[in-house]
């Protein structure tokens, strides 16, 4: 049985490397996994927003899980996104992920319309019980219509199969979740780079930070300083992480991440259509950004 206490530290939501015809680039995925694990990441999260999970074909989703589980080989937890628009569809995806070796499932609320709190509660309980898997909530109100209420999260935290959540809402929401789930086994992970240190201060156990694809060591060092209660170093590391993460705001993140990984020799820059690639101006900005921080020559 999976020990939810393993859900801690830096668990980056990985990009999904693709070929030009939008199939899985298996070699690229393996290189990316090796990169983040060699840096010291504490887990991997696949098929989330950065991983373009809802865009990928069923075949690519399946292959991504299989390759990831094989490459990780039990060293760290594998968290798999199963977000969809209904309980039935998410349960089907979750059961397949479980059969392929996933450790934990994670999902945003169904995103076709604004969900009522009881609908959100019923969705997650049905997903967890329908798959028999540890299940995490994924709250990302900028991208999904429903912002999961603190009251609903507190109710869900009492369920034995609800393992925790990734919270990409504002810091006030995350802090309130931490206070309302204190004393439970609920594992709260911060989803926003500039909130990492304060999140740990109020009770989060780590972060699922997308910039960990590009600079995993910075994310890990910031986390380590915070959990060691080294606040002077934490402040300095948080400032560095915040400046790095915010520098390219306004540029499409998935396309930026893929382009950056291509410059690092990890994989190609292909994103799933209808998302667009970076234009020439954005590519120049990306090269300057990565070069300034020493991530490319």
Write down the pLDDT at residue 160. Answer: 96
Cα–chain center distance at 236: 24
> Would residue 295 count as lying in a domain?
no
Report yes or no on 288 lying in a domain.
no
> What digits encode the pLDDT tens for the residues 135-157?
999 999 988 889 999 999 999 99
226-275 pLDDT, tens digit per residue, is: 999 999 999 999 999 999 999 999 999 999 999 999 999 999 999 999 99
Q: Say how many Å lie between the first and final Cα of the chain, rounded.
A: 45
In this predicted structure, what is the pLDDT of residue 142? 82
pLDDT of residue 145: 85
Residue 151 lies in a domain: yes
Q: What is the CATH number of the domain that holds 236?
A: 3.20.20.70
Number of domains, the chain: 1
Give the pLDDT of residue 195. 98
Question: Is the residue at 259 inside a domain?
Answer: no
> Is residue 292 assigned to a domain?
no
Rounded CA separation 43/66 (Å): 16
Can you list the residues of the chain whose pLDDT is less than 50? none
Residue 154 lies in a domain: yes
- Is 271 a member of any domain? no
Q: Which pLDDT score, from 0 to 100, does residue 285 have?
A: 97
> Could you tell me if residue 127 is inside a domain?
yes
The residue segments making up the domain with residue 109 are 4-245
């Amino acid at each position: 049985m999976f020990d939810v206490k393993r859900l801690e530290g830096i668990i980056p939501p990985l990009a999904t490397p693709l070929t030009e015809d939008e199939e899985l680039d298996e070699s690229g995925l393996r290189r990316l996994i090796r990169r983040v694990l060699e840096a010291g990441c504490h887990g991997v999260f696949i098929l989330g927003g950065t991983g373009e999970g809802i865009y990928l074909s069923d075949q690519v989703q399946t292959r991504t899980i299989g390759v990831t589980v094989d490459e990780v080989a039990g060293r760290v937890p594998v968290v798999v996104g199963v977000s969809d628009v209904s309980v039935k569809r998410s349960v089907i995806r979750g059961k397949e992920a479980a059969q392929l070796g996933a450790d934990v499932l994670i999902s945003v609320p169904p995103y076709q319309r604004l969900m009522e709190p009881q609908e959100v509660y019923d969705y997650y309980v049905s997903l967890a019980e329908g798959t028999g898997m540890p299940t995490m909530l994924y709250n990302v109100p900028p991208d999904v219509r429903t912002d999961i209420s603190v009251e609903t999260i507190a109710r869900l935290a009492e369920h034995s199969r609800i393992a925790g959540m990734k919270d990409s809402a504002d810091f006030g929401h995350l802090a309130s979740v931490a206070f309302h789930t204190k004393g439970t086994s609920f594992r709260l992970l911060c989803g926003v780079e500039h909130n990492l240190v304060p999140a740990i201060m109020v009770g989060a156990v780590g972060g699922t930070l997308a910039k960990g694809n590009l600079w995993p060591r910075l994310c890990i060092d910031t986390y380590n300083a915070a959990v060691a209660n080294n606040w002077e170093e934490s402040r300095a590391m948080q400032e560095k992480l915040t400046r790095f993460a915010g520098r390219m705001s306004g540029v499409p993140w998935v396309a930026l991440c893929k382009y950056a990984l291509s410059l690092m020799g990890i994989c190609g820059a292909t994103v799933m259509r209808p998302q667009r690639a970076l234009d020439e101006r954005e590519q120049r900005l990306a090269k300057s950004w990565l070069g300034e921080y020493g991530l490319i020559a």
